Amino acid sequence: MKYLANALLILCLLAASCEAKGLGRRVRAALRAPRRIAPRRDPNEKVFNVLQYGAKPGGKQDSALSFIRAWRAACNYRGTARLLIPRATFLIGATIFQGPCLGPVPIKVQIAGTLKAVADPSMYEEDFWILFEKINGLLVTGTGTVDGQGNAVWKYNDGGSRFPSSIKFNHVVNGIIRQITSVNPMGFHISIVLSQNIRAKHLHITAPAMSPNTDGIHISQSSVVKVSRSVISTGDDCVAIIQGSTDVSIKKVTCGPGHGFSVGSLGKYPDEKDVRGVVVTNCTLRNADNGVRIKTWGGSPPSQASNILFQDIIMDNVKRPIIIDQTYGSKSNSPSRVKISDVRYINIRGTSASAVGVDLMCSKTVPCEKLYFSNINLKYYGQKKLPFTSTCTNAKVNYAGYQFPPPCR
């Protein structure tokens, strides 16, 4: 018995020693691991909850006026302000959040709930549903959803109609929109107009492939706009960069379905301003109608699109991976007068759903100049066994590195 007791004592001591060592390892690991520190809220920040201004959850009653009242109170507050849309469903019609605001920048708009549009196009006198206007320093954030309920109105779109964008930035300087989900807009998901220094990131944008004119992010007459780390699936251009846009960056964005990343259309209206300084990098397109595209109207007034870079792009079953179309949208036989120059295509790879992988249809009046292709590696996976080709009209192209489809000669 004495020996048995000693053996049991030794086993207990060994077990305790092992447990202590394991505990020590866990403690040391915990000490080494970086601590997650919750973001600190400004103790002086005042929260303006739309519920306190009469907004009705449930999605049955139009709460637009309550939202506007809450915004005015936040915007006129001279301290740090945050407009809160809590976790609930709210129905709102046309809503304007207008500055300038009186407090320190940025003023914050936190969307935690779901916003549903009044699904009646006749209720919208202008081209927006939710407008942020004349604000210097704006942060729109949250985990909420903006639902344009476009599926109830798309059938009325005859091709010439202009339905309201779900979110529009107009004359916004130093703005951020992040972590928002946009679904089924009547028109564009997000429109950025006459704005400077805008960041759009971590967005999830979705609408059916057949939804009309539902651009994901539509940028016009704006400068220093950066779109990043977002997923866009929609019925029109994933990102459209149109007249007067300069210094625009699209990075780490997944597109598809949709009409790809488009510069244009350009030249539809008189006196359009030039587009320059566009960079699209590290992006992926899946099952899209187009990949990277520049499009201008035939018979257009003169303008320019220049200094454009498409680099490190993956195409997955894209119908027209690389395209310049200077006859877009017009029945005119007159050539486009939009001058396209200094466009670089570098490290573009993947699969094409059409037998023409590179299609450059430039203007005979102002031919494309300084087009540069380096390391293009596309493969044709169409249903028919056809030769995989490039076509070039009125285009001056330089090549370097690997080229497939074979370059124009």
Choosing from 236, 274, 289, 325, which is the catalytic residue? 236
C-alpha distances (whole Å) from 178 to each of 76, 142, 329 are: 24, 7, 33
Active site residue 236: yes
Choosing from 189, 218, 259, 359, which is the catalytic residue? 259
Catalytic residue list: 236, 259
